Amino acid sequence: MSKWLFFACALILMACDKNKNEWKLEGVIRDGLTGDVMPLVDVKVEVKKMVSGVYNDIVETAIVGVSESNGHYEMVWDRDNISYLRVTAQEDLYFDAIVEISPDDLKPGEFYTQNLNLTPRADVEILIGSSDPAANVKLTFYSTDPYCTCEDDGAWQIAGNQDTTIHCMASGGQWIKYKIDASGSNGVFTHWDSLYCQPFVVTPLTYIY
C-alpha cells in the first residue's frame, strides 16, 4: 500500500514540476463595439528572452493560436526567463488588439487572465474640391480616437480650381468632429459638423466650394 502511495505522490510532484516550467495565458476576445465574443481570432504571444545570461532586445514569437467558439483563448508554452511579453489578437476588418503584460505579474504554472477587445475598422473617403480659381478650402478633423488617421496631417487644404481625395481610417461606430473653412468669390464660410463612421464600410464625405 505504501509503495503505491509513494508512486502516486511522485506522479503528482512530477506533474506539479512540469506545470511550473510553463507560462500560461488565457482570456476572452470580444468585439469592442458590440461586446460579442469572437471565435477563430488569431492570437500571438511575443517575448524578449534571456540569452547567455543577458536579456536581449529581440522580440520573438513564443506561441500562436486561435480563439474558440465562445471567444476563449488559451496559450501554454515552455517557460523561459523573459523581460517583456505582449499578446496580440488579429482579425480582418479590425484594428489589432495589443496588450503588454509585465513578466512580474506572471506565475509559473498558473494561468494569467488577459481579455482582449478588438475595435472594428471604418474607412473614410473624403473629397474636397472647387471650381473657383480664388478658392481656399481647409478641412480639419478633431478626434480623440487612437485609431483615427484622418487627422495625421493636421489639416487638408486646397487652393484654386482643383480637388483632392483623402483616404483614412477610424474606429467603427464613432463620430469624428470636423471643421471646414472656405473662402473665395462666393464669400467666406465656416462649417462645423460630425461624421459617423460606420463599421466595415467606406464612409464618404464630400465638400465642393
* Residue 126 and residue 75 share a domain: no
Please report whether residue 6 resides in a domain.
Answer: no
Which helix H or strand E contains 156, and what residues bound it?
Answer: strand 155-159
Tens place of pLDDT per residue across the chain (209 aa): 454 544 444 444 444 455 579 999 999 999 999 999 999 999 999 999 988 778 888 999 999 999 999 999 999 999 999 999 999 999 999 999 999 999 999 999 999 999 999 999 999 999 999 999 999 999 999 999 999 999 877 789 999 999 999 999 999 999 999 999 999 999 999 999 999 999 999 999 999 99
Contact criterion met (CB below 8 Å) for 172 and 200: yes
Which CATH number goes with the domain that contains 63?
Answer: 2.60.40.1120
Instruction: Give residue 49's pLDDT.
Output: 92
* Residue 86 and residue 142 share a domain: no
Q: CA 130, 133, 136, 138 torsion: positive or negative?
A: positive
- List, for residues 128-187, the tens digit of each pLDDT value: 999 999 999 999 999 999 999 998 777 899 999 999 999 999 999 999 999 999 999 999
Neighbours of 97 (CB within 10 A): 22
Q: Which one, of 137, 61, 30, 46, lies nearest residue 99 by Cα?
A: 46
Cell numbers for 51, please give them: 540569452
Cell numbers for 93, please give them: 476588418
| Count of domains observed in the chain | 2
* Residue 183 and residue 107 share a domain: no
Last residue of a domain, one of 86, 114, 142: 114
Query: Cell 468585439 sits at which residue?
Result: 31
Q: In whole angstroms, what is the distance from residue 173 CA to residue 198 CA? A: 5
| Burial zone of 88 (CB within 10 Å; 0-12 exposed, 13-18 middle, 19+ buried) | middle
Contact criterion met (CB below 8 Å) for 48 and 56: yes
Q: In whole angstroms, what is the distance from residue 181 CA to residue 209 CA? A: 10
Q: In whole angstroms, what is the distance from residue 186 CA to residue 33 CA? A: 42
Which CATH number goes with the domain that contains 196?
Answer: 2.60.40
Last residue of a domain, one of 114, 149, 172: 114
Contact criterion met (CB below 8 Å) for 160 and 185: no
Instruction: Give residue 14's pLDDT.
Output: 46
Please report whether residue 49 resides in a domain.
Answer: yes
**Residue ranges making up the domain that contains 181:** 121-208
Last residue of a domain, one of 114, 143, 168: 114
Please report whether residue 16 resides in a domain.
Answer: no
Query: Cell 483614412 sits at which residue?
Result: 168
